[in-house]
Amino acid sequence: MKDDIAKAIEKAIGRLKSEGVIPSQAAASVPIEIPKDPKFGDFASPVALSLAKEAGLKPRDLALKIAGEVMEEKDPLILKVEVAGPGFINLYLADKWLDHAVKAIRKAGSDYGRSGNGAGERVNVEFVSANPVGPLNIVNARAAAVGDSLVRMMNFTGYKAESEFYVNDAGNQVGVLTDSVYARFRQSLGEDYPFPEEGYQGLYVKDMAEKAKEEFGPELANMPPEEAKRLLRPFSLKQMLEWQKKSLKAYDVEFDTWTSEKSLRDKGAVEEALDRMRDNDDLYEEEGAVWFKSTKYGDDKDRVMIKGDGEYTYVAPDFAYHLDKLGRGFTKLIDVLGPDHHGYQGRMQAGIKSFGYPEGTLYVLILQLVTLLRGGEAVKMSKRAGEFITMDDLLEEVPKDAARYFFIMRNTNSHLEFDMEVAAKSTPDNPVWYVQYAHARCCSIFEKAQREGTDLTLMEGADCSLLNHPTETALVRRMSVFPDELWAAVEELQPSRMARYAYELAGEFHRFYTECRVVSEDVALSAARLALVDAVRITIANLLPLMGISAPERM
């Protein structure tokens, strides 16, 4: 409906343009909003306010002209158009539109909200990509929730989006992990074997050492350390990856692709990427190192690609990795990163440009920090002392649905306060329950109606124009903008918008539920309200899975 209204106003503006009232080059987009106060109409547009200057008219006068044009050739669903305030165009819709809107939602069913807006563009969303050296942490968990929701939302709106996890299995961090496991292994045999200075202290390293003992037997101790570590390295890596996969699965996050840095290196992808930069004259040698002239593409300083000792810096394989993704046919790359990586953005954008891809190919979404609270008190975490809450720990305290909602409920560039006690509760302060409860209530109405012998097929012939109660029209309005809200969330890469929309929709439903009895003696009204409730059920059932949250039928 929002679209139809925007089109009607666009047409009106088009006619005014051809009459020369508005200059033809004036911007074309027509914003439509739901007014805060229903007395300002079902929908409103401030378009005249922004166009007034170019037209050389007072906003109000222009609004009157546009309104006049809209009425001239008006959509039968539009009842009247008014101009109010400084120049808002307020549209009031005929009751018939309620019927249209509800029927459209029910007809679309599980496809309500789905669109082809993404036009099949192939998008790669990379997220989490934690080093395979320890358990997943809370920022990883936020990245998992945000990244996975983005992929789901994008696929629902016509993109071909895939999720990807980049495994840093070639760097020296895995070496440190291997050394740590090896040391714990020797210690477990009663030896006084030194633990590496930068080694990983966590208990899981000891567990892995025990597993290694089972796997390889005590003869591992008799091998030269280098040989033992050659066995331990892939073994440790595999354990870590399995652990991380398991943690993610518990959050309903599964990746389409896991790409290994090592495999990229092995097939010469790094050299290939560097050659490409060299061909562009973007590499140079200085002080015994090879540098990428990233300042040429807007980075604040040039970056070393090959160190003095002949090793790559971590960025070189990262460039190769991005080039690899692009080589697989993705035209848009999204990297979801933690707050400590924002400095990474400039060099990576520079690399993409050096490879010849257009501006806007890569989008880096930076997530801000998460502060964990328990009952309003900050949870003390000390990495050094090995005291920190992992993603797994969190799930033991907070149900998956609540965790996922909490992780996406804030804008990505806002710090997130996550109170585990609130998230774990089933009380009104917990927004997840509020939304799920709305869905359960819808289902419960049908269950009750059926049990009491109400003929549910009555819905099919329902006349939803009867839904005149303010809470009913508000509910229909809110539902009708779901596709627009979803698309806005996708364009802004902000799943938080979906979380908020879900909350608002649930609120409209709870108000309706309190004010209006669905099943009553009035057969026609009951039929209309059942259809309305069905539409709500459909909308919520479609949007919760986009956030990886279930829509329970009973609570």
Partner RNA sequence: GCGCCUGUAGCUCAGUGGAUAGAGCAACUGCCUUCUAAGCAGUGGGCCGUAAGUUCGAUUCUUACCAGGCGCGCCA
Q: Which residues, 38 to 57, sit near RNA by CB under 7 A? A: 40, 44, 46, 49-50, 52-53
Q: What DSSP string runs through 291-348?
A: EE-GGGGT-SS-EEEE-TTSPBPTHHHHHHHHHHHHHTT-SEEEEEE-GGGTTHHHHH
Cβ 22 vs Cβ 55: under 8 Å: yes
Residues 6 or more apart whose Cβ sits within 8 Å of residue 444: 553, 554
| Cα–Cα distances in angstroms (integers) from residue 550 to residues 20, 425, 508, in the given order | 53, 17, 20
Pair of tokens at residue 300: 């604040």
Q: Does 309 bind RNA (CB under 7 A)?
A: yes
Toward RNA, which CB reaches closer, 77 or 518? 518
Which C-beta is closer to RNA: that of 387 or that of 447?
Answer: 447
Helix (H, G, I), strand (E, B) or coil at 366: strand
118 binds RNA (CB under 7 A): no
Contact pattern for RNA over residues 215 through 254, marking x by CB under 7 A: ----------------------------------------
Nearest-angstrom CA–CA distance, 345 and 350 = 9
The residues in 483-502 that bind RNA, with binding defined as CB under 7 A, are 496-497, 500
511 forms part of the interface with RNA (CB under 7 A): yes
> For residues 108 and 369, which CB has a smaller minimum distance to RNA in the complex?
369
Q: Residue from 90, 149, 349, 354 that binds RNA (CB under 7 A)?
A: 90
How crowded is residue 73: how many other Cβ atoms within 10 Å of its Cβ? 10
Q: According to CB under 7 A, which one of 26, 84, 108, 424 is a site residue for RNA?
A: 84
Is residue 448 a contact point for RNA (CB under 7 A)? yes
Cβ closer to RNA: 228 or 435? 435
Rule CB under 7 A: is residue 308 a binding residue for RNA? yes
Please work out, in degrees rounded to the nearest 5, the angle formed at the alpha carbon of residue 512 by the alpha carbons of 506 and 515: 145
Subset of residues 526 to 555 that bind RNA, contact rule: CB under 7 A: 554-555
Q: Residue 197 interacts with RNA (CB under 7 A)? A: no
Residue 364 interacting with RNA (CB under 7 A): no
DSSP 8-state symbol, 553: S
User: Are the C-beta atoms of 64 and 85 separated by less than 8 Å?
Assistant: no
Question: What minimum distance in Å lies between the beta carbon of 352 and RNA?
Answer: 17
Q: What is the nearest approach in angstroms of RNA to the Cβ of residue 189?
A: 30
Cβ atoms of 331 and 361 within 8 Å: the answer is yes
Site for RNA in 160-179 (CB under 7 A): 168, 171-173
Spell out, one character per residue from 318 to 347, where the chain touches RNA: x when CB under 7 A holds, - when not: ---------------------xxxxxx---
